[in-house]
Amino acid sequence: MLETVKYLIGSRGASGFGSKSTAEEVTETCPDLRFITAIITGATSGIGAETARVLAKRGARLVIPARNLKAAAEAKARIVSEFPNSEIVIMALDLSSLSSVRKFVLDFESLDLPLNLLINNAGRFAHHHAISEDGIEMTFATNYLGHFLLTKLLLNKMMETTKQSGVQGRIVNVSSSINGWFSGDMIRYLGQISRSKSQYDATRAYALSKLANVLHTKELAQRLKEMGANVTVNCVHPGIVRTRLTREREGFITGLVFFLASKLLKTIPQAASTTCYVATYPRLENVSGKYFADCNETWTSKLGSDSIEASKLWAASEIMVSEI
């Protein structure tokens, strides 16, 4: 109850920010980002678009991968109209397709750009059962597995950039507090819903993908530490906000639910604040493997903090993305 009250009034935590803080506010004192190159998935609308806008305002060069290049061009135009000196590169990427992820990485590497910041923001809530071209349930494929492979393939570029620039690289995985809604055997359930829709529950599948984001963060942080890489990875819960994630369920019921929950909703600038905070705030240098909400470190679910589950998911993910 106390946490809910703090959320509603926007009480500020140890970071100096809280639920009412905006992305612009939390980046006001961040270092000059003119020498930072950032890849942001899901930046054509919603939280990702606001994250991209604010980072561009602070001077960062942006790479915006998108399945819909027209939407990406429109997002770029909006940012450039506000900040004419922005440098923004649009590239094709379908996160649900592992071959598309591989092609994107090859295309990005051909540009010979540095990579300081990777924000794995794109998300999908598939209300209807679907399987990706790689045989993986679509929500999991898009929200987690595509980002897992993208991060894996970009790590060498990030580590190379940190050595050349001396600036610590950062990876931000956007999850959700709904990760705590999943219980049970992750790999078994994924196998079930990747074969048949008979066991499919859209909300549980979404929770599974968001839990996977949390466990990916935990395991990757440990591996980066063991490698001695000057790269951190952290996970964020942006908060409850109405974005295009609900586009398949627009209508009276959805509108009524959001109206009734309006006091708990964040604006998009508020929802983008935690991502921008974790991506840029100076005090988070060397902070890795943590989970943030409302711009403050917090606890994740019991399953989300299980190192054994994180290791098991990593091993299964390596198999799923392996090329035969």
Other C-beta atoms closer than 10 Å to the C-beta of 97 total: 18
Single-letter code of the amino acid located at 163: K
Q: Which of 200, 206, 277, 291 is labelled catalytic?
A: 200
Cα separation, 19 vs 6, in Å, equals 8
As a whole number of Å, the end-to-end CA separation of the chain is 51
Angle between helices 46-57 and 69-82 (to 10 degrees): 40
281 is catalytic: no
Q: Which helix (H) or strand (E) covers residue 64, if one does?
A: strand 61-66
Nearest Cα neighbor of 186 from 203, 202, 209 is 209
DSSP for 232-276 reads EEEEEE------GGGGGG-SHHHHHHHHHTGGGPPPHHHHTHHHH
Q: What angle do CA 46, 47, 48 make, to 5 degrees?
A: 95
Catalytic residue IDs: 200
